[in-house]
Amino acid sequence: MATLCRPRCKMAMAVLVVLWGISTSARAGLVEVQVTPNPQEVFCGADTIGTLSIENYYRNENFVRNGVNWSGAVLEAVFTEIDGYCLPGEHLANLRWIQVVTAGTNTIGPPPYLDPFNRDDGLPFYWTEPENADPTDGKNGTRFFDAPAQAVANPANDITFEAGLFCVDFATMKMTFLTGFEWGYSRDDTDADGFRDDVTLKAFTWLTAITNTMKTQIESWDASNTPPNFLGDGTPDGWKVVDDCVCHCTPEPSTLAILAGGPGLYGLVLCIRTRRRRSGQKITETSEQ
């Protein structure tokens, strides 16, 4: 991810990139490339757990901050949990996002690498834990937002991302890939005005299974060294991507209050869990290019 201040900044480009002047609600609902279907159903094993919608995917060209012109792209995705997977009064508790820079030029590190390249913690996830829980950032794992950009006076750049939504079991360090997508953009001087401020969005592609690139980056993740880069000692930390569904539910705060009132009150909000099953169609892994 390019530097995105929310309020802390992450970088994935060779030169400092910022979200200055861009609010996370700016141009809400603008998708400039074809996204089909939208929303996409999300499964964990055979169970339908929700949908993922692409709310924004657009060029963000030539915006100005502190006298400097920047160009890049904006992408926002939102997960919506369906009724029936968790019991009434509960919600999915262990959603996390991972993003990989899979290819590009003038990136801050040699692709592929987990985004951000410079880490604020020792975990492989896109949001830090406080960010993931923040209602203006990750919203408990239900929201992904990125706005990479570079100064238009800098050399042209090209970048491709793979983003994935996971359920994560921290006790066993296992995670289940739920759904994901590939996106990106290039920035160059296509109108010959002397500035590399013209953005071309890359095609959007849903990932129905985790790619080898993303799985390798996760399972080889080594963050045992000190900040800011967490380069590690060469020994993977032990994260594993598994086929088994490790999604789990937790009571909402209001439900916890009912629980404190005793089993009689709790019985008022419980019902039998019903889960929608995916069709018999087999989902195959996305091939690497």
Q: In sequence order, what are the residues at sequence separation of 6 or more whose Cβ sits closer than 8 angstroms to the Cβ of residue 163?
A: 75, 77, 97, 98, 99, 100, 126, 144, 146, 180, 181, 182, 183
Most distant CA pair in the chain, distance = 72
pLDDT of residue 263: 53
- CA torsion angle for 96, 100, 106, 110 (degrees, to 10)? 120
User: Do the Cβ atoms of 229 and 202 come closer than 8 Å?
Assistant: no
Q: Indicate left, alpha or beta for 89 from its phi (over 0: left) and psi (-120 to 50: alpha).
A: left
Rg (CA), the chain: 20
pLDDT of residue 192: 85
- Which pLDDT score, from 0 to 100, does residue 185 have? 97
In degrees rounded to 5, what are phi and psi of residue 203? -60, 145
* Strand-pair partners of 82: none
Predicted TM-score (pTM) of this structure: 0.81
* Cβ atoms within 10 Å of 6's Cβ, excluding its own: 16
- Candidates 95, 99, 140; CA nearest to 4 is 99
CA–CA gap between residue 97 and residue 18 (Å, rounded)? 20
DSSP codes, 79-106: EEEPBTTBPTTEEE--EEEEEEEEEEES
**Tell me, what amino acid is at 208?**
T
pLDDT score, position 24 = 42
Phi-psi region of 184 (alpha: psi -120 to 50; beta: other; left: phi over 0): left
DSSP β-ladder status, 240-241 and 174-188: parallel
- So what's the pLDDT on residue 252? 73
Residue 271, token pair as written in the block: 């019902």
Nearest-angstrom CA–CA distance, 167 and 43: 11
Strand partners, 41: 51
Q: Give dist(CA 25, CA 184) in Å, integer.
A: 20
Phi, psi at 219, each rounded to 5°: -75, -15
pLDDT value at residue 28: 63
Tens of pLDDT along the chain (289 residues) come to: 443 332 333 433 333 334 444 544 445 689 999 999 999 999 998 999 999 999 999 999 989 988 999 999 999 999 999 988 898 889 999 999 999 999 999 998 899 999 999 888 889 999 999 999 999 999 999 999 999 999 999 999 999 999 999 999 999 999 999 999 999 999 998 888 888 999 999 999 999 999 999 999 999 999 877 777 677 788 999 999 999 999 999 987 644 444 455 555 444 333 333 344 344 332 323 333 2
Domains of the chain, by residue range, sit at 40-269
**Spatial separation of the C-alpha atoms in residues 153 and 150, rounded to whole Å:** 8
Cα gap 17→69, rounded to integer Å: 11
- pLDDT digit string, tens, across residues 144-192: 999 999 999 999 999 999 999 999 999 999 999 999 999 999 999 888 8
CB atoms within 10 A of CB 107: 23
